[in-house]
Amino acid sequence: MLPVRLELRNFLAYRAPAPLSFEGLSLACLSGPNGAGKSSLLDAMTWAIWGRARGKTDDEMIHMGQEEMHVICYIASCASAARKAEDRDRLTFSCGTTKRNSSA
């Protein structure tokens, strides 16, 4: 599996960033100061794919002051990764949307 594109809305510190594209990359490095959100990007991918991220509850991952979050992670299989990313029929995606628990 290779990530191709990541779209976030109200996920942890990311309120409404531009989509993050990994198209054309064979190697990627996340760098930045502490607290910049590097781990949050990995949390978003794992949450979209497996529904869990570093032991946090869904409510803890919703941006403060918001009621819901949304994550879409487009993924290419290793076999289709060599094809152009515009060929969306060859991509699969995982997405998740959740709303804040009203009892919290």
Cβ atoms of 74 and 91 within 8 Å: the answer is: yes
If one counts the domains in the chain, the total is: 1
- Domain assignment of residue 42, yes or no: no
Say whether 103 sits in a helix, a strand or coil: coil
pLDDT in tens, 30-59: 999 999 999 999 999 988 888 888 877 888
For residue 96, is it within any domain?
yes
Q: Is the dihedral of CA 94, 54, 52, 68 positive or negative?
A: negative
* The model's pTM: 0.76
Contact 62, 13 (CB under 8 A): no
Residue 11's pLDDT is 92
Is 34 part of any domain?
no
Task: Tell whether 12 is covered by a domain.
Answer: yes
Q: Is residue 66 part of a domain?
A: yes
Domain that holds residue 88: 1-24+59-72+83-104
The C-alpha atoms of residue 35 and residue 16 are separated, in whole angstroms, by 18
Question: Does 46 reside within a domain?
Answer: no
Residue 37 lies in a domain: no
